[in-house]
Amino acid sequence: MRLSPDAPYCASCLARPPAFARTVAAFDYEAPADTLIRQIKTQLRLSAAPVLARLLAHAVWSEPLPQARLLLVPVPASRASLRRRGLNPAAEIARSLAALLDWPLLRGALRRRRETPRQTTLGRRARQQGAQGVFHCRADLSGRHVGLVDDVMTTASTADAAARALLAAGAASVTVLVAARTPPAA
């Protein structure tokens, strides 16, 4: 069951509020739209990135943000994912999104401290534990409003860990921008 529009958090987020201020998603991670995600992640179709970015840009335009422009920072892929795919879907979406919105893009500022297991094999608790402290930010983000870009948000564990690293680097706020989001339960 979907959260009602006036419900700001799902039950899990009420128990442990996330570090990010809000999330903007282009679509729910379910058929038929999930095909676009599979195209970039498993079929390595780079042409899906601009399509996903355009869908995400439309979601941003329909949900105006308090800040006029965000500094876009993509979630870094693991080394294993980069070797397997040869690309970082989040970075490719962020590149196209920056061009569409005319927002600045900061690549390489967010880094992984360690490698983590593939998220698809893990449950909510394991994802939360594995993501804690996994990211650090090498840039000074003092006072900047950041748009953290990712392809899919499932449990928000990755987004939360990345947002904490961005806030520790001085970001004033973090808004998560994802192409697809697993529909939260009420």
Q: pLDDT 10s per residue in the chain (186 long)?
A: 345 555 555 556 566 688 999 999 999 999 888 899 989 888 778 899 999 999 999 999 998 788 879 999 999 998 888 888 889 999 999 999 999 999 999 999 999 986 665 555 655 555 555 556 689 999 999 999 999 999 999 888 899 999 999 999 999 999 999 999 987 664
Q: Torsion angle, CA of 113/90/24/158, rounded to 10 degrees?
A: -30
For residue 140, is it within any domain? yes
Q: Please tell me the predicted confidence (pLDDT) of residue 1.
A: 38
For residue 78, is it within any domain? yes
Q: How would you classify the pairing of strands 135-137 and 110-112?
A: antiparallel
Q: Please tell me the predicted confidence (pLDDT) of residue 83.
A: 87
For residue 4, is it within any domain? no
Q: Please tell me the predicted confidence (pLDDT) of residue 45.
A: 84
For residue 8, is it within any domain? no
For residue 158, is it within any domain? yes
Q: Please tell me the predicted confidence (pLDDT) of residue 55.
A: 97
Tell me how far apart the alpha carbons of residues 158 and 156 are, in angstroms, rounded to a whole number: 6
* Angle at 41 (CA atoms; ends 98, 105), nearest 5 degrees: 15
Domain count of the fold of the chain: 1
For residue 48, is it within any domain? yes
Q: Please tell me the predicted confidence (pLDDT) of residue 80.
A: 85
Point out which residues pair with 74 in neighbouring strands. 149
CATH no. for residue 158? 3.40.50.2020
- Quote the domain boundaries for residue 162: 21-114+123-181
Q: How many CB atoms are located within 10 Å of the residue 124 CB?
A: 12
For residue 39, is it within any domain? yes
For residue 6, is it within any domain? no
